[in-house]
Chain A
């Protein structure tokens, strides 16, 4: 199979993630969408690594996974705190800061 299809797939996944961020209200889902975007990038890295014939992309993918994990920790911490305060995980609810 042509690896460039994976690139296309990654683009689709990235777009889904981006749209997810835009349309979903639940902070967790939004957060998952962001993760989806990161993983779309990972997919692209791996596909490109294959196409370019070097391993750099795969190495990058590992780094990204680690970073994503760290991001999860931080993100969840923040979301949980907000949830505990507001009793809601809606991303639209914290709206005191504007204009």
Chain B
């Protein structure tokens, strides 16, 4: 048994599988899943006019209920579902964060005041872009309500993904999470060609990566005779010799997961999808998929492959460095704000990987904190993007943000806050996050990675700062977009994101305690 495993596993549950299923422990997943099913039924049976309010009640109610259960479950550490699901500290923190972020994302998706034509989604995704049908639907004020079942299903997958303790569960969760997102990405009301293209790219590449993931699972199964992470870890300790099978399996598994976290060189879908997808969905997916995927990655690496730490560390090391650098470097010449944030999210993935690579409880805690900080900031940033508009919809080209501070000082200030947080300026959540992962990494001896991270941070700071330059230091042009006053939905989401960004920057202690107490993954 590796040193890590000894450190990580302190309980004797290793050989003990719970008989049956602890339903309360997996209730958050079940609640959301149940709500999703109900939501599908609502689509079928509830009259069109009533669908939106009903769906909203279901979504908000179920998310809040799930959140309540997660909070109630705090401190739980158990493995249930015949070893398929691990409900432990990290899982619960991620689930909690996912639920809160999902709630904010739901608010953004429910926003109707921003776009004069309705919400951010095509009234009928099946209608041809620009066709008479579409215009008719728009005129009638149809709203797409199928987004809600998709949303809930994706959320189900996300909640299960970091909890999955065997690779089959993980694969299923991955697909449950991904498939609805593929569809959601293609449902933008405006710029539908881009949106559809994003959906296609996301789907094909996502499926492609799933195939890798699955094949990797197959190899590991072939090696260990089980898809359980614990069993794989044990087999690795027992017979560390079978090089090729394990190496191939591990590599392909990593490819699938790294695709989801958008690590270089598996990142290329990210800019296209982030740019093309409807902005609330981009915000939702940028924040939550990253959490869920890192949750799964962490569990696979720490629990399943912890014994092979010395094998995967150098590779992930290079990938992390590349991810930070490539993401940051390409972002500096972007002209579309959503695309820029997509590259930024790639770079951020690299920073989180630093925490992952610390391979220590501190690394896990710091990665969790970073994910929380990043998720709130990101969803807030996309909320702002959804509000900055001109006649053709969202004004995502950076030139249209020139002098925005004149038109709306408050929004410009909030967006600047998010940019500074992403850049990692102190007194914002992003700084504490970066500080945490760097600290964990240096404590584990990954000093050079931190130095690369520092260099990448500087490069990244350039493009975050550039947005501030454009908003504050340039004079408004006739093309400058205006900021639409949103309804309470977006306002709440934005306020929450901004508040968390500041509070986590100034008083991070409670959350740091939370992630520290989350301890380690259960085995």
A residues near B, CB below 8 A?
A: 7, 10, 14, 17-18, 21, 27, 30-31, 34, 37-38, 40-41, 44-45, 47-49, 51-54, 56-57, 59-60, 63-64, 67, 70-71, 74-75, 77-79, 81-82, 84-85, 91, 94-98
Contacts and interface: CB of A to CB of B under 8 A. Distances in A.
Contacts of B203: 74-75, 78
B227 A31 contact: no
Nearest to B125: A81
Interface centre among B203, B204, B218, B227 (most CB of A within 10 A): B218
A30 B201 CA distance: 12
A10 to B, nearest CB: 7
A56 B225 contact: yes
Interface residues of B, number: 42
A10 B211 CA distance: 12
Contact of B226 (A56, A64, A78): A56
Interface in B204-231: 204, 207-208, 210-212, 214-215, 217-219, 221-222, 225-227
B241 interface: no
Interface of B: 125-126, 128-129, 168, 171-172, 175, 179, 182-183, 186, 192-194, 196-201, 203-204, 207-208, 210-212, 214-215, 217-219, 221-222, 225-227, 271-272, 275-276
Q: DSSP majority for the A interface?
A: helix
B215 A14 contact: yes
Contact of B175 (A27, A49, A59, A70): A70
Top 6 closest pairs, chain A to chain B, by CB: A37-B211, A48-B222, A52-B225, A94-B197, A97-B272, A44-B218
Q: DSSP majority for the B interface?
A: helix
Nearest to B211: A37
Given A34-B204, A34-B211, A97-B275, A74 B221 contact: no
Given A37-B211, A97-B198, A10 B172 contact: no
A81 B134 CA distance: 13
A21 B193 contact: no
B129 A78 contact: no
Given A85-B192, A97-B271, A71 B175 contact: yes
A21 B208 contact: yes
Given A52-B221, A75-B207, A85-B196, 10 more contacts: A14-B215, A34-B211, A37-B212, A37-B214, A44-B215, A67-B171, A78-B196, A85-B192, A85-B193, A96-B193
B80 to A, nearest CB: 18
A47 B221 CA distance: 10
Nearest to B207: A34
A67 B174 CA distance: 10
B227 A27 contact: no
Contacts of B193: 85, 94, 96
Contacts of B194: 96-97
Nearest to B275: A97
Contacts of A44: 215, 218-219, 222
29 contacts: A7-B222, A21-B204, A34-B211, A40-B215, A41-B217, A44-B215, A45-B218, A52-B222, A52-B225, A56-B227, A57-B221, A60-B168, A63-B168, A64-B214, A67-B175, A71-B207, A74-B183, A75-B182, A77-B183, A78-B182, A78-B200, A81-B126, A82-B200, A84-B128, A85-B128, A91-B200, A94-B197, A95-B197, A96-B276
B222 A38 contact: no
A27 B200 contact: yes
Contacts of B126: 81, 84
Contacts of B197: 82, 94-97
Contacts of B183: 74, 77-78
Contacts of A52: 221-222, 225
B172 A63 contact: yes
B215 A78 contact: no
A43 to B, nearest CB: 9
B276 A97 contact: yes
Contacts of A18: 208, 211
A67 B208 CA distance: 14
Nearest to B186: A78
A74 B222 contact: no
A51 to B, nearest CB: 7
A1 to B, nearest CB: 17
B336 to A, nearest CB: 9
B250 to A, nearest CB: 15
A94 B183 CA distance: 16
Interface centre among A21, A54, A79, A97 (most CB of B within 10 A): A97
Nearest to A77: B183
A25 to B, nearest CB: 12
Contact of B196 (A48, A60, A81): A81
B199 A78 contact: yes
